Amino acid sequence: MIKGEPSRTALLTAVQRGHHNLTAPEPKILRDDLALAIAGLDSLEAAQGYIDNMIEVFAALSDPETATIFMKRIDGSVCMRSRVVEEELALAKPRGIKQLVILGAGLDSTAYRRTDLTEGMNVFEVDHPATQAWKEERLEAANIKVPENTKFVAFDFEHQTLAQALEAGGIKPDVPTFFTWLGVHMYLTDEAVKATLGVLGKFPKGSEIVMDFISPSYVLAGGIAEDSVAQLSKVVSQMGEPIKSQYYEDELEAILNEAGFSEVKYLSAKWLVENYLGGNKDAFDMPEEATSILYAVI
Ligand SMILES: C[S@@+](CC[C@H](N)C(=O)[O-])C[C@H]1O[C@@H](n2cnc3c(N)ncnc32)[C@H](O)[C@@H]1O
C-alpha cells in the first residue's frame, strides 16, 4: 500500500461488487447494495466509468477482448468470495458462532447489510489504519450507521503482532470465531501470511476461516491470458499494492494444517455454480475446476 494512503484495491473491489449488483443478470452472485455508496460513487455511470478504465488498463497488457473477459472473471471472483462468506455465516450462526472477525475488511459491507446474519455476534473489522480511517469517513458521508455490535480494530499485518492487536481490540481468543480474509494474503509477504494463520489457528475448535488465494497456476481467463497472475500483478503494483505471495493448493493446505486448521476445503467454480447458482454457468463464467476460494475449520 502507498504509505499513509487507503488501499486502492479496496476501492476497486467495492466498485466491482456495486457494479455487479446493478448490472449482473439473475441469478446474481451477490447483492451488495451498499458498496457504491460506501465507495463514494453515486451512479451507475460513475461505476461503469471506473470499470471501463480498469478494462483499458488490462487491455494495455493484452487486447480489449481478453481484458473484458479477464475483468469479468475478476469481478465474479470478488463477488463470489463474499457470497461464500454469507453462505458459511448462515451455517455458522446455528452452530452458535458469536464472533466474526473481518480481516483486511476494506469497504466490506457485511456488518451493515447482513444484520440478519450478524445479529447476536460481535463483529470486528480489522484493517490497516489508513484504509480504516477512510472507511469510517465514507460510512459517515453515506449516512450508514455502524451497528452497535461492530467495532474497528486498526492493524498492520506486516508491522504489528496480530495476537496482541486482536486482544487489545476486544477479540476474545477463547471463543470459536468466524474469520474472513478476502483479497488480502496476496498483498502480504509469505512470512506475514504464515504468522497471521499461525495466530488464527490457535482459536478454539469450531473456528473457521473463509479466504481466497492467488496461485501461480491461476489462469483467470481460461487459457486466453496464460500470464494472468503477471498481468494482475502489474496492475495492482501500479495501484501501489504489489502481489507478494502466491500458493499452490497443496502448499497453502500444508500451511493451514500446520497452523491448526484440520479441514481445508477448496471450492471449485463447478461446485460454486451448482451449489449457489442453480447450475447457471453464465452467472460465474470460470473454468470448472478453477479454485480461488477456500474454507478451513479448526
Ligand atoms: C483488495 S482489498 C480487500 C478488501 C476487502 N476484504 C474486500 O474483499 O473487498 C485489500 C485489503 O487489505 C488491506 N491490507 C493490505 N495490506 C495490509 C497490511 N499490511 N495491514 C493491514 N491491512 C492490509 C487493505 O487495507 C485492504 O483493505
The Cα diameter of the chain in Å comes to 51
Closest ligand 1 atom to residue 105 Cα is 6
If you measure from the C-alpha of residue 280 to the centroid of ligand 1, how many angstroms do you get, rounded to a whole number?
31
Per the structure, the count of domains in the chain is: 1
Closest ligand 1 atom to residue 17 Cα is 9
b or e along 119-129 (b: 16 or more beta carbons within 10 Å of the residue's beta carbon)? eebbbbbbbbe
The pTM (predicted TM-score) of the whole model is 0.96
64 within domain boundaries: yes
Ligand 1 pocket member 178 (CB < 6 A) = no
3 within domain boundaries: no
Task: Round to whole Å and give the CA distance between 6 and 132.
Answer: 8
Atom 11 in ligand 1: which residue has the minimum CA distance? 104
* In contact, 113 and 89? CB cutoff 8 Å: no
65 within domain boundaries: yes
Provide the pairing of β-strand 291-297 with 263-268.
Answer: antiparallel
192 within domain boundaries: yes
Ligand 1 pocket member 106 (CB < 6 A) = yes
The amino acid occupying position 10 is A
If you measure from the C-alpha of residue 93 to the centroid of ligand 1, how many angstroms do you get, rounded to a whole number?
25
Cα 53 to chain centroid, rounded: 22
Q: Which domain holds residue 118?
A: 8-297
2 within domain boundaries: no
Can you list the alpha helix ranges (DSSP code H) found in 142-189? 162-168
75 within domain boundaries: yes
Scan for cell 483499458, then name that residue: 56
Q: What is the CATH number of the domain that holds 62?
A: 3.40.50.150
Local confidence pLDDT in tens for the 298 residues of the chain: 777 778 899 999 999 999 999 999 999 999 999 999 999 998 999 999 999 999 999 999 989 998 998 899 999 999 999 999 999 999 998 998 999 999 999 999 999 999 999 999 999 999 999 999 999 999 999 999 999 999 999 999 988 899 999 999 999 999 999 999 999 999 999 999 999 999 999 999 999 999 999 988 776 655 666 688 889 999 999 999 999 999 999 999 999 999 999 999 999 999 999 999 999 999 998 888 888 999 999 9
The amino acid occupying position 285 is D
Task: Round to whole Å and give the CA distance between 153 and 168.
Answer: 8
